[in-house]
Amino acid sequence: MNKIDKLKKMKCGKIIENIDLVKYTTYKLHTIAKYMIFPNNIEDLKKILNFVNENSLKYKIIGGGANLIFKDKYYDGIIIKLDNFDELVIDDTKIKVGAGYNLIKLAMKTCKLGLTGLEFATGIPGTVGGAIYNNAGAYKSDMGYIVESITVLDENLEIKTLYNKDLKFHYRTSLLKETQKYICLNATIILKHGKLENILEIIEDRKSRRLMTQPLEYPSAGSVFRNPENNFAGKLIEEIGYKGKQIGGAMVSLKHANFIVNIGNATGEDIITLINEIKTKVKEKYNIDLFLEQEIVD
Pick from 5, 178, 12: nearest CA to 81: 12
Pairing of strands 220-223, 183-190: unpaired
Which of 149, 174, 220, 223 does the annotation list as catalytic?
223
What is the CA angle 260-298-32, rounded to 5?
A: 80
CATH topology of domain 88-197: 3.30.465
Confidence of residue 1 (pLDDT cuts 50, 70, 90): low
Which of 149, 172, 174, 253 does the annotation list as catalytic?
172
- What does the pLDDT read at residue 270? 98
Domain 88-197 in the same topology as domain 3-81:
no
Q: Catalytic residue at 158?
A: no
- What does the pLDDT read at residue 138? 93
Pick from 231, 257, 225, 232: nearest CA to 243: 257
- What does the pLDDT read at residue 8? 85
Q: What is the pLDDT of residues 97-131, one digit of tens each?
A: 999 999 999 999 999 999 999 999 999 999 999 99
Q: How far is CA 52 from the centre of its chain?
A: 23
Q: Catalytic residue at 172?
A: yes
For the chain, domain boundaries? 3-81, 88-197, 215-297
Q: How far is CA 70 from the centre of its chain?
A: 13
Helix (H) or strand (E) holding 161: strand 159-163
Q: What is the pLDDT of residues 204-250, one digit of tens each?
A: 999 999 999 999 999 999 999 999 999 999 999 999 999 999 999 99
Q: What is the pLDDT of residues 44-72, one digit of tens each?
A: 999 999 999 999 999 999 999 999 999 99
- SS3 at position 256: coil
Q: What is the mean pLDDT of residues 74-81?
A: 97
Q: Catalytic residue at 223?
A: yes
Which of 119, 174, 220, 293 does the annotation list as catalytic?
293
Q: What is the pLDDT of residues 282-294, one digit of tens each?
A: 999 999 999 999 9
CB atoms within 10 A of CB 209: 13
Instruction: Give CATH for domain 3-81.
Output: 3.30.43.10
CATH topology of domain 215-297: 3.90.78
